[in-house]
Amino acid sequence: MEFDLVVAGGGPAGAATALAAASKGLSVLVLEKAGKGRDKFCGGGVTVLARKHLAELGAKEVEEAFDLWCEGHVLVLPGERVLVDAVRGLSYAMVRRRVFDAKLLEIAEAAGARVVEGARVEQVGVGPDGVSVVDSKGGRYTGRYLVVATGAGDKLPERVGFPSWRASDLGHCWGAEAPYDSESQVAAWRSSYGFTPIFLMFGFVTYGYFWVFPKKGHMNVGMGTTLTESMKLRAKHSEAYRAGLELARKLRVLDRVEPFKVEKSALIPGRPRGWSKDRPRGTTWSAEKRALLVGDAAGFVHPLTGEGLSGALGSGRLAAEAVKQALDAGDPSRLAAYEEAWWREFGRDMFEYGLRLARLLYSSPTVQRLGLLALMADEKAVKLLSRLLYRADARCSEELYNYVVKRLPLLLLKAPLAGEKRSYSEL
């Protein structure tokens, strides 16, 4: 069968691409190697920017998958210093990924996309008028264009002809999402902080953090760092993770830690040293291959925070727009508009300013500790950091970076004054 667009992968990036393309009247095929309800390990926080992209996609029904809302965050800095903040009007929607991903793919299907489950793309051929695809079930399809949305750990982008990842380009996270009396735990948090927070805990790894995110009837606990550092940790993975759990128990973030044995892990785009022109894979489009990369396959994860849903959803919409332009013009070179669009909409903030912030904060344990204390002691800096964590808009990294660079000597002088606990919460 022939389609205007074949999408490899049915996660958020692939589903967003399919939904946007089908809504524009394109015939769309999604080949999903697992199926609806397959899981991916991550924190599962849907930021302000991600929700904006969902609205642009016309995917309001996906809100049915929102478990609960977190209005702010608690950061535990090295030395057990505690920074609390919540900005009025901003929040995180918490989801279980298997539920959220399935719902988004169902919405794309309802818009007209055809979804084939249990179908991994095994072969891709390129001809003068389109691409031919063979899946693991023996299905053969042709499409005018291909979008690859298979995540960071899949080799399909390389087989299509895109540059491969190096270990230094990737991140690694591990942890558990376990049944838990989250209602009682959240009630205790609200009593302590006046709102429902997410928890980010620093000092266990050089590049990254330990997290605790509440879900309805579950708790998501994990740790993430670069793949390079993860490989160096080796057997110390468990040791660092247990240290995070014990600190969470000590600070009464978790009343029980026994349920959280490591059961899942995932690769994500990580520290981008040497990325060409600040593009994670050097390029995210090819007129010759008639293909685009979206989401984690393209590297669209924020270098400082590790948040990737906003990049997945935003890139899916922009990819569909570029494919539509190429189809209307009968010209594959129009795919170039995709890279220009994502750089303008969110890429510059992620990979110019976000990358600079990551290099500032994560270069060594000493720099991380001093940098976090410097931010903690300055209310304006904390508010800008909070806006970045919420992903309040696509300029948050730039705003925080410019503020920090212009005031760095003063911020460093204020670092010893941070104290043991600071709260700037507006709630």
Enumerate the domain spans of the chain: 2-67+92-164+273-355, 168-269, 361-423
Q: Do the Cβ atoms of 285 and 291 come closer than 8 Å?
A: yes
Q: Say what the pLDDT of residue 261 is.
A: 94
Q: Say what the pLDDT of residue 341 is.
A: 97
Q: Say what the pLDDT of residue 190 is.
A: 98
Q: Give the predicted TM-score (pTM) of the model.
A: 0.96
Q: Say what the pLDDT of residue 276 is.
A: 44
**C-alpha distance from residue 372 to each of 9, 358, 419 (Å):** 38, 12, 12
The CATH code that applies to domain 168-269 is 3.30.70
Domain 2-67+92-164+273-355: homologous superfamily in CATH: FAD/NAD(P)-binding domain (3.50.50.60)
Q: Say what the pLDDT of residue 166 is.
A: 83
Q: Say what the pLDDT of residue 278 is.
A: 58
Mean pLDDT of successive 10-residue stretches along the chain, which has 427 residues: 95 98 98 89 96 97 96 97 98 97 97 97 95 96 98 94 87 95 98 98 91 97 90 80 96 97 89 53 93 96 95 98 98 97 95 91 90 97 98 97 96 95 98
Q: Say what the pLDDT of residue 273 is.
A: 46
